[in-house]
Amino acid sequence: MDSKTLTWILTGLSYALFAAIIVMIPFRIKKIKSECGELKMALKSDFPLRSFLIFLVCAALIGIVPLRNFAFYLSVVFDLTALIASWMASKDVANSGINGIYENMIISDTTAIKYSDILSLPTVAWEKQEETAQVDFRLLEVIPEKGGKITLVFPDEKIRNQALALILEQCPRLAE
C-alpha cells in the first residue's frame, strides 16, 4: 500500500473514532448522573458553544489531511490532535448541564471527580495563614489520587466559599 491509501484509511478510522466520541456523550452523562448522588449546589454552566466549534474544526482537520500531501506521520499527528481535542470537548459538553457540588462528587466544566478520589484541597490549608499573599479566592485546588492538580474556578469568592463548605460537609476528611 502506498502512503496515500494509508492516509485515506487513517481518515476513515479517525472519522469512525470521532463519531464514537460524539455518540458516547449521552452515555457519559448517564454514567456521571448515576454516580454523583443528590445535587447540593448547582454551579453556573455556560452553553458549550466553544466545544461545538471545536467539533467542527476537528472534523474539518480530519477531512483536510488526506487532501494535502503530508508525510504519513504528520497525518497521524493531525488526526490524533483532532481526536484528543474532540475528546476534551465532549467532556465539556457532557458536564455542561450538570455542573455542581453533589453528594458523591464535584462536577465543574471538564472535571468530574469523586470525593473518594481526592487526596487533599491544599488551598484550604494555607489560605488563612497571615503570610499568604496575593491569593485568588475564586480558585480551589484539588489534588486527586491519580493525575495532576485540578484547579476549579468559581465566579466569585462567595460562591467558592459556599461550594467549599458543602464539599467539606460531604467529605470532612478534606478539612484536615
Same domain flag for 81 and 111: no
Same domain flag for 37 and 91: yes
Domain span holding position 36: 3-98
Closest CA to 164 of 133, 141, 136, 132: 141
**Predicted pLDDT at 131:** 66
Same domain flag for 140 and 60: no
16-38 pLDDT per residue, tens: 999 999 999 999 999 998 998 89
Q: What is the pTM of this model?
A: 0.79
Give 88-91 contacts, CB < 8 A, sequence gap 24+: 88/54, 89/48, 89/50, 89/51, 89/52, 89/54, 89/55, 89/58, 90/21, 90/22, 90/24, 90/25, 90/28, 90/51, 91/28
42-91 pLDDT per residue, tens: 888 777 788 899 999 999 999 999 998 888 999 999 999 999 999 999 98
Same domain flag for 12 and 43: yes
**Predicted pLDDT at 64:** 94
83-108 pLDDT per residue, tens: 999 999 998 898 888 888 999 999 88
Last residue of a domain, one of 71, 98, 125: 98
Interior/surface letters 43-72, b for 16+ CB within 10 angstroms, e for the rest: bebeebeebeebbeebbebbeebbeeebee
Same domain flag for 51 and 138: no
Same domain flag for 24 and 7: yes
Last residue of a domain, one of 66, 81, 98: 98
**Predicted pLDDT at 153:** 84
Same domain flag for 71 and 111: no
Same domain flag for 42 and 74: yes
**Predicted pLDDT at 92:** 87
Number of domains the chain contains: 2
Euclidean distance between CA atoms 116 and 165, whole angstroms: 17
